[in-house]
C-alpha cells in the first residue's frame, strides 16, 4: 500500500472511531465482540442473500439491523487455511502445513504470536472459543487422555469448548479447555489415521450398522451410526451425539456470554452446521423440504437466533458487535448420501456465483458477512471489498491496540467500512484454492494451474486452467467470460502484482 493510501485509511479509521464514540472510553465501555463462523455456508444459502427456497429469519433480522456485505471473502476456499488466516491475519498459503488437517494434527498456530484473541485480551477482553477448531491440537503424537497442550488456551483464548477437527473426523468428542469433556479414565481414547485400531466396527466392513451411508470415503470407525474419517477406540462416555451438537455448542456459547456480561468479551463461535455429516435435531428434521442440508441451515439460523435472544435478554445488544460469516463456500455432496443433491429443488447454494468449496471461482470464498452494532454500524448493504483476514487489524483499531511490525502481515484495518463510515474496503485481495487469485477493483485474475478442473467427488468446478484467467466481476459476476486473451497487458500486470505479493511475505505496511 502506498504511504498516502495508508495515511488516508488511518485517518478514516480514526474518524470512524471518533464518530462511534470510542476515543476516550475505558476498556469496560468497549463493545463486546461475537464472531459467528458458520461452516460451508454458501453465498446463496440464506434468504437475505437471495435464497428463495429456504428462509433464514434470524440471519435476515441480523442483516436488516446491520451491514450486509456483498463482496466479503473467506481467505481460502477450505476450512483450515481460512480459519488460520482469520485468527492470525496472515495468508495461510505463506506457511507450509496449513492445508486441510487430519483430526490428530498438531497445533499449526505458533503460541506466542499475535492472534485475534491474544490481541483483544490485551485490551482487557475475556476470550472464548466454542465450536469447530480444525487447527490442530498438541505438539504431535497427542495423548487424548491427558492434558492437551498446546491448544486454544495457548494462542489467546481464556476458555475453549471445541470439536477438535470436523464432525466427520475422529475423535468424535469435545475438548473443554485442556481435557476431553466427559472422558471416563477407565475407557481411554486411541486415535489413528493410518491403520485400524481396537475392535470398533467400520462403515466399510459393516454398512448394516449405519444410519447414514457414505457416498465417498468416510467409511472408517462408526460413531453414532455414522462412519467417519479415521479410526478411534474408547472414550464412549465422551462421544458426541450428532443430533445434539448444535444445541450443545450454542449452550456453551450462551453460557460464556452470560458469565462475562459485566466485562468486555470476545466470543469466537464456530458452528458445526452446515458441514457433513448433516444430522439435524429432530425438531428441524424434514422442516426445510430440502433434505438434511436444508434442515441444518434452519438449525444454524436458530443458533444465531439464540445468540441474539441472549444479548437482548441480558440487555447488551447495543454494546455488542455481532459478526456472522462462513469459513468458505458451499458443497452439496461432501461424502455422505444425505439427499442433498436430490432435494435441492431449485435452491442455489452459491447464488449467482460460479464454483463452490475448494474452488478458485468466487463461490469458493465469497461468503455472507454481516456486522451488527446498533447505533454504531450503519444498517444497509455494502459492496466494499473485505476479507475475514482483516478482522485482526480491524479489531485492533476498534479496541485501540497497536500492531507491531511482524503482526497480522496481511490484515488491513477496514473499520470505516465495517461501521458504514466509508464505501471502500481493501484495495485488493488474494483468494486461495488450488490456484491463487487476485481481485483488484472490478477485475479478478486466476493464475495458471494444471490441476483437475472438476473435483471428482463433489462435482465442483475448481477453477484450474493451464492458461491464465481474467474476469470482470462487475459485468460478469458468474465468471463465465475469460477475458485474458482480450486484455493481455492487464493479465501481465496482475500476474506481476500477485508475484510481488508472494515474494514480499506481507501486504500490511
User: Does 472 lie in the same domain as 406?
Assistant: no
Give phi and psi for 233, each to the nearest 5. -140, 160
Q: Give the domain range for residue 451.
A: 429-504
User: Does 361 lie in the same domain as 346?
Assistant: yes
CATH number, domain with residue 451: 3.30.1120.10
Task: Examine the fold and report which residue of 426, 454, 480 is the final residue of a domain before the chain moves on.
Answer: 426
- Domain-located, residue 227: no
- The pTM score is 0.94
Beta strands in 71-219 (DSSP E): 72-73, 126-132, 159-163, 175-176, 179-180, 190-192
- Domain-located, residue 369: yes
User: Does 327 lie in the same domain as 285?
Assistant: yes
User: Does 410 lie in the same domain as 267?
Assistant: yes
User: Does 473 lie in the same domain as 402?
Assistant: no
User: Does 454 lie in the same domain as 399?
Assistant: no
Q: How far apart are CA 497 and CA 40, in angstroms?
A: 30
Per-residue pLDDT of the chain (509 residues; tens, 9 = 90+): 444 344 344 444 444 444 444 443 444 468 999 999 999 999 999 999 999 999 999 999 999 999 999 999 999 999 999 999 999 999 999 999 999 999 999 999 999 999 999 999 999 999 999 999 999 999 999 999 999 999 999 999 999 999 999 999 999 999 999 999 999 999 999 999 999 999 999 999 999 999 999 999 999 999 999 999 999 999 999 999 999 999 999 999 999 999 999 999 999 999 999 999 999 999 999 999 999 999 999 999 999 999 999 999 999 999 999 999 999 999 999 999 999 999 999 999 999 999 999 999 999 999 999 999 999 999 999 999 999 999 999 999 999 999 999 999 999 999 999 999 999 999 999 999 999 999 999 999 999 999 999 999 999 999 999 999 999 999 999 999 999 999 999 999 999 999 999 999 999 98
- Domain-located, residue 214: no
- Domain-located, residue 195: no
- Domain-located, residue 197: no
User: Does 325 lie in the same domain as 449?
Assistant: no
In angstroms, what CA-CA distances link 245 with 26, 157, 167, 228, 366? 37, 21, 9, 16, 26
User: Does 137 lie in the same domain as 9?
Assistant: yes
User: Does 78 lie in the same domain as 49?
Assistant: yes
User: Does 443 lie in the same domain as 398?
Assistant: no
What is the total count of domains within the chain?
A: 2
Task: Examine the fold and report which residue of 384, 405, 426 is the final residue of a domain before the chain moves on.
Answer: 426
**Grid coordinates in use for 196?**
485400524
Amino acid at each position: 500500500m502506498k504511504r498516502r493510501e495508508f495515511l488516508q485509511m488511518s485517518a478514516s479509521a480514526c474518524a470512524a472511531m471518533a464518530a462511534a464514540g470510542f476515543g476516550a472510553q475505558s476498556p469496560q465501555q468497549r463493545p463486546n465482540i461475537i464472531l459467528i463462523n458458520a461452516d460451508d455456508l454458501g453465498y446463496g444459502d440464506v434468504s437475505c442473500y437471495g435464497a428463495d427456497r429456504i428462509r433464514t429469519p434470524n440471519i435476515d433480522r441480523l442483516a436488516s439491523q446491520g451491514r450486509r456485505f456483498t463482496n466479503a471473502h473467506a481467505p481460502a476456499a477450505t476450512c483450515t487455511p481460512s480459519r488460520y488466516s482469520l485468527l492470525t491475519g496472515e495468508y495461510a498459503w505463506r506457511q507450509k502445513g496449513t492445508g486441510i488437517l487430519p483430526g490428530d494434527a498438531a497445533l499449526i498456530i505458533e503460541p506466542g504470536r499475535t492472534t485475534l484473541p491474544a490481541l483483544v485480551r490485551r485490551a482487557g477482553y475475556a476470550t472464548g472459543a466454542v465450536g469447530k477448531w480444525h487447527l490442530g491440537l498438541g505438539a504431535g503424537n497427542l495423548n487424548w487422555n491427558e492434558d492437551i497442550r498446546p491448544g486454544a488456551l495457548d494462542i489467546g483464548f481464556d476458555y475453549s469448548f471445541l470439536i477438535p477437527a470436523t464432525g466427520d473426523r475422529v475423535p468424535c468428542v469435545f475438548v473443554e479447555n485442556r481435557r476431553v469433556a466427559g472422558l471416563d479414565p477407565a475407557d481411554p481414547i486411541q486415535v489413528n489415521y493410518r491403520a485400524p485400531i481396537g475392535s470398533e466396527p467400520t462403515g466399510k466392513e459393516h454398512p448394516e450398522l449405519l444410519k447414514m451411508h457414505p457416498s465417498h470415503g468416510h467409511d472408517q470407525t462408526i460413531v453414532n451410526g455414522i462412519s467417519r474419517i479415521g479410526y478411534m477406540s474408547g472414550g464412549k462416555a465422551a462421544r458426541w451425539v450428532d443430533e445434539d451438537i448444535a444445541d450443545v455448542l450454542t449452550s456453551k456459547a450462551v453460557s460464556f456470554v452470560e458469565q462475562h456480561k459485566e466485562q468486555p468479551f470476545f466470543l469466537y463461535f464456530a458452528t458445526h452446521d452446515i458441514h457433513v455429516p448433516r444430522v439435524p435435531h429432530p425438531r428441524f428434521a424434514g422442516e426445510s423440504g430440502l433434505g438434511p442440508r436444508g434442515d441444518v441451515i434452519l438449525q444454524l439460523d436458530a443458533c444465531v437466533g439464540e445468540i441474539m435472544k441472549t444479548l437482548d435478554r441480558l440487555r447488551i445488544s447495543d454494546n455488542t458487535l455481532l459478526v456472522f460469516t462462513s469459513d468458505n463456500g458451499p458443497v452439496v455432496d461432501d461424502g455422505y448420501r444425505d439427499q442433498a443433491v436430490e432435494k435441492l429443488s431449485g435452491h442455489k447454494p452459491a447464488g449467482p456465483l460460479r464454483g463452490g468449496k475448494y474452488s478458485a471461482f468466487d463461490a469458493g470464498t465469497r461468503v455472507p458477512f454481516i456486522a451488527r452494532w446498533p447505533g454504531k454500524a450503519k444498517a444497509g448493504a455494502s459492496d466494499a471489498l473485505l476479507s475475514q483476514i482483516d478482522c485482526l487489524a480491524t479489531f485492533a483499531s476498534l479496541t485501540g491496540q497497536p500492531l507491531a511490525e511482524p503482526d497480522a502481515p496481511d490484515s488491513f484495518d477496514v473499520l470505516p467500512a465495517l461501521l458504514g463510515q466509508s464505501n471502500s474496503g481493501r484495495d485488493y485481495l488474494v483468494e486461495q484454492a488450488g490456484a491463487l487469485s487476485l481481485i483488484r477493483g472490478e477485475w479478478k485474475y486466476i493464475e495458471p494451474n494444471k490441476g483437475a478442473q472438476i473435483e471428482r467427488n463433489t462435482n465442483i468446478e475448481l477453477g484450474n486452467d493451464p492458461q491464465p484467467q481474467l474476469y470482470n466481476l462487475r459485468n460478469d459476476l458468474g465468471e463465465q467470460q475469460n477475458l485474458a486473451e482480450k486484455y493481455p497487458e492487464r493479465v501481465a500486470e496482475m500476474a506481476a502484482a500477485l508475484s510481488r505479493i508472494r515474494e514480499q511475505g506481507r501486504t500490511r505496511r
